[in-house]
Amino acid sequence: MFPSEASSDRGLDEEMSAIERLPTGAFVAMSALPIVDSDWSIAFDRLLEDRAARRTFTEHARRLSPERLELAELLLGDPEEFRRRLLAFLRRFRGKVFEPEWRRVLPMLREEADRRRRELRRDGLAVIARVTATAKEAHHPHRVVFDKLYPAKARLVDDPCVLLPSAHAGPHVTIKHAHGFPIAIQYAVKPTQETPFDAVDRRVRALSDPSRVRICRAILRGRHTTVDLAHYIGMAEPQVSRHLRRLREAGLVRASREGRMVFYELDAEALKRIGLDFYDALWR
């Protein structure tokens, strides 16, 4: 919810003290953001004085759920009471859950932080793209693009960037950016195997053709050549070749050569993951 400072030495007490010191307007803006799922059409920095912004914010929260509306109304009606309740919860959480778990994961997080520091000194911006398989480094201009639902841009020349390894985050990367604070990128120390949305989309589209589904059924049971498949399915060889190429481009079919023969087989694991990958991609 709240942005980090560019420091790795602060404990939870210092983090909570930083929340206490935030100006009321900044606290309201940062608290409001997750209540409405980071809808950047809302002027979060003007919620305290702009009636139109307040109305838009509360109406958006109302559409999401009664619970979110309750949070929105408490935040706008009494920001300091909202802050008091939040800090009280965090302090209870620290004693019951955070402290023993922190002792368990701290060595792993320190090792990860040291590794990333070495990579940053050596490779620079490219390291940011390595925290998840769904990010990619691009050039002209030099940038890192994350596969996320909400469109947003942040410039490293304006604000520093902090990579936050987590033992519990995932399967997705979380990015927080509030003006005047570092860009915070939270990622899993042991990242799960995420599939980019464009790859999931290619697989879904590849299976939209009934002929390609028939080919998948055939090669799921065993390897086949193009000639075999054409005979088995009753289709011309050039047609089978085009469908196989589409399935290979989607990452659903593998080819292996034995002498002069090329055999095709289905990547069953990729096929089984389509539903889960699609679900995960929608959440990003």
Is the domain defined by 197-278 classed in CATH 1.10.10.10? Answer: yes
- Interval 16-33: pLDDT, tens: 898 999 999 999 998 998
**Sequence-ordered list of residues with C-beta below 8 angstroms from that of 63, at least 6 positions apart, any chain:** none
Confidence bin at 7 (pLDDT 50/70/90) = low
- Interval 199-232: pLDDT, tens: 888 999 999 999 999 999 889 888 899 998 998 8
Two tokens, residue 217:
């059924």
Confidence bin at 3 (pLDDT 50/70/90) = low
**Sequence-ordered list of residues with C-beta below 8 angstroms from that of 282, at least 6 positions apart, any chain:** 149
- Interval 111-126: pLDDT, tens: 888 888 888 888 888 8
Total-model pTM: 0.58
**Residue intervals in the chain for CATH 1.10.10.10:** 197-278
- Interval 111-166: pLDDT, tens: 888 888 888 888 888 888 888 878 888 888 888 998 876 777 888 887 888 888 88
